[in-house]
Structure formats: C-alpha cells, structure tokens
Amino acid sequence: MRWKWQYLEEKFMQGLMLLSFGLILLSLLLILFTIVSKGLPSLSWEMISQTPKGGFYLGKEGGILNAIIGSLYLALGGTLIALLFAFPLALLLNIYLSQRLWADIVRLSLDILWGIPSIVYGAFGFTLMIFLGWRASLLGGILTLALLEFPIMARAMDEVIRRVPPDLPRAAYALGSTNLETAFLVLTRQILPGIATAILLAFGRGIGDAASVLFTAGYTDRIPNSLFSPAASLPLAVFFQLGTPFPEVQQRAYSAALILTVIVLGVSLTSRWLSHVLDRYSIH
C-alpha cells in the first residue's frame, strides 16, 4: 500500500505547484488587464499632447505631456550619468582586480547599494540638495536616479563580463595589447549584448521609480526648461492624480499608468531583441 501514498503525495504536490504557478501568471495578467482596461478608454491625443490646465490636482482639462517629457529627461539623464561610472568600473574591475579581496569588497558594496530602498536614496538626495542649497529640480532628480541606477547597471555588466571565456583576453594579451586595449577594444565588443541589457534594465528601473524623485525632482504642470526647474514624472503623475476626487483627473492617472507600463514593458522587450541582434559580434 505504501506506493499508493507516495503516488497520492506526488499528485497532490504537483497540483499545488501548478496552482501556485497559475496564481503567479494570473496575477500578472490581472495587473496588465486592469491597467489596460482603465487606461485605454482614457487615452486620447489630447492626453499625450497637452500639459494639464488649471493645476494637475484640480484642473479637469489637458493631459500628461509634462509627465511624459519629465520622465524621459529624468530617466535618460540618470541612465547616462550612471553609465559613465558603471561601465568603466565594471570593465576595469575585471581587468585590474580579478580574483582579489578588494574586488570582492567592491562587488559586495555594489550589492549593498542595489538593496538600499529607493525611498532612502530619495531622502539622501534631498539631504544633499538642502546641503547644497538646491530646490527640487530636474538635476536633483537626475542625480538621485543616477545613484539608484549605478549599482544595478554596474552589477549587471559585471556578471556578463565574468562570463567571458578567459581565452579571449589571453589571446588579446598574446597579440601584445595592453590591459586597457583588451578591455575597451576586445572585451567591450564581446559583451555588447550584455551592456545593452544592463543599460535598458537600469533605464526601466529609473523611469518607474517614484520614491526617489518624490522630493528631489518635485512635480509641476510645466515641461522643464532648464536643469534647475522642477520636473514632473509619470509614476508621480499616477500617484498624485489617482488620489483626487475628480474622475476627469483620475483619467490622467490611468493614462499615465498605461503609458508607463507600455514604456517599461517595451524597454524590457527591446533589451531582449537588442541583445539578440548584438550577439552576432560575440564569439561563442
């Protein structure tokens, strides 16, 4: 009779697992369905081509162009600055410091930075800005986002570089290239797909993050015209405008949520496609 219990247990656990897996898939579909079914009816040309009129919280006219442009500025700026630091760090970490205690410490610090909640980055950025005498501004938001994206990007690149077969740099050294040339001319080409993925991963994280830009970039009805003016952003457009009692204003929140979701999912899919395309420059 013993085999029967085993069989039952097996079937029971398999059922539970399928149930769990189904639950996860169902939640994903439900989220997407909610966002699309609320966002699509509220989306119009007016919505994406105009800034809100009469204040974003009370005004019933206008759209969310301020948040779309603001978010793109913030995330592009943050990603660019993060890239300037993350790329050389990840590359040279593996060239100059491979297999050493210090490299381990650097990686551990990056992992720790990755785990710091974005609200803490926001508080830290805000403290720095008060110290420097800045107000909520595009630049403040960009720098805080750069801080948030830097460890994500650096660590993602580092993981890719570590998977490069060691024969590749050895071959480059054998041909007489220096460490730097090996890093920037040979390794870079090999990890191009990984670099693209890392950049887009960080960009997606940056554009969707609300807690870090809440105090640092502020919110405004206008499109920022300088680095020192405040900037609106899509996640905050969702957050602020969902809380109003006016259905017309809530429509703007739903549209912003839909646009944000489309951007983020688009970025995720693009990164898969791009890493596929760039893969042809790598040696396998």
Partner 1 sequence: MSGFSLSTPQSAVTRSYRSQFDRLIRRMFWAFSALPLFLAVSILSALWVKSQPILVAHPLAELLLGSAWKPQRGEFGFLPFISGTIWVTVVALVIAVPVCLLTAIYLSEYASGRLQRLIKPLLDLLAAIPSVIYGVWGVLVIGPWVQHSIAPFLSQWSHIFPIFTATNPTGYSILAGGMVLAVMIAPFMIAIAYEVFQTVPLGLRQASLALGATRWQTVKYAVLPKAISGIVASLILGCSRALGETMAVLMVVGNVPQIPRSIFDAAYPLPALIANNYGEMMSIPLYDAALMTASLTLLVMVLGLNLFSILTLRHVLREKK
Confirm or reject binding of residue 84 to partner 1 (CB under 8 A): no
Of residues 40, 58, 180, 283, which one binds partner 1 by CB under 8 A?
180
Instruction: Between 83 and 207, name the residue whose CB sits nearer to partner 1.
Output: 207
Is 166 near partner 1 (CB under 8 A)?
A: no
What are phi and psi for residue 46, nearest 5 degrees? -60, -40
The residue within the footprint of partner 1, chosen from 193, 215, 251, 255 (CB under 8 A), is 215
Q: Check binding of 273 to partner 1 (CB under 8 A).
A: no
Residue 58 or 108: which CB sits closer to partner 1?
108
181 binds partner 1 (CB under 8 A): yes
Q: Specify the DSSP element, H or E, that contains 90.
A: helix 65-96
Phi-psi category of 282—alpha, beta or left, where left has phi over 0 and alpha has psi -120 to 50? beta
Looking at the Cβ atoms of 53 and 124, the one nearer to partner 1 is 124
Among 58, 116, 277, 283, binds partner 1 (CB under 8 A): 116
Q: Least distance to partner 1 from the beta carbon of 160, Å?
A: 15
Q: In sequence order, what are the residues at sequence separation of 6 or more whose Cβ sits closer than 8 angstroms to the Cβ of residue 220?
A: 66, 70, 229, 230, 231, 232
Report the C-alpha gap between 86 and 91 in whole angstroms: 8
- Residue 97 makes contact with partner 1 by CB under 8 A: yes
Burial of 154 (0-12, 13-18, 19+ CB in 10 A): buried
Q: How far is the CB of 275 from partner 1 (least distance, A)?
A: 11
Structure tokens, 177 = 């290239």
Task: Rule CB under 8 A: say whether 29 interacts with partner 1.
Answer: no
Report how far residue 92's alpha carbon sits from residue 178's, in angstroms, rounded to the nearest whole number. 12
Q: Which of residues 41-80 bind partner 1 (CB under 8 A)?
A: none
Give the nearest distance from C-beta 269 to partner 1 in angstroms.
Answer: 8
> What span, in angstroms and rounded, lies between the C-alpha atoms of 234 and 260?
6
Length of the chain: 284
Q: How far is the CB of 68 from partner 1 (least distance, A)?
A: 14
Q: Does 9 sit near partner 1 (CB under 8 A)?
A: yes
**Residue 89 binds partner 1 (CB under 8 A):** yes
First-to-final CA distance of the chain: 53
Q: Select 129 or 225, whichever has its Cβ closest to partner 1.
A: 129
Neighbours of 199 (CB within 10 A): 23
Q: Which stretch binds partner 1 (CB under 8 A): 51-59, 74-82, 187-195, 203-211?
A: 203-211
- State both tokens at 55: 């204040």
Of 40, 58, 84, 112, the residue at the interface with partner 1 (CB under 8 A) is 112
Half-sphere exposure of 176 (CA within 13 A, CB side): 0
Handedness of CA 208, 214, 218, 219 (dihedral sign): positive
Please tell me whether residue 98 binds partner 1 under the rule CB under 8 A.
no
Which positions from 122 through 161 interact with partner 1, judged by CB under 8 A?
122-124, 126-128, 147, 150-151, 154
Provide the minimum distance between the beta carbon of 82 and partner 1 in the complex, in angstroms, as a whole number.
12
Cα dihedral 257/260/265/267 (nearest 10): 180
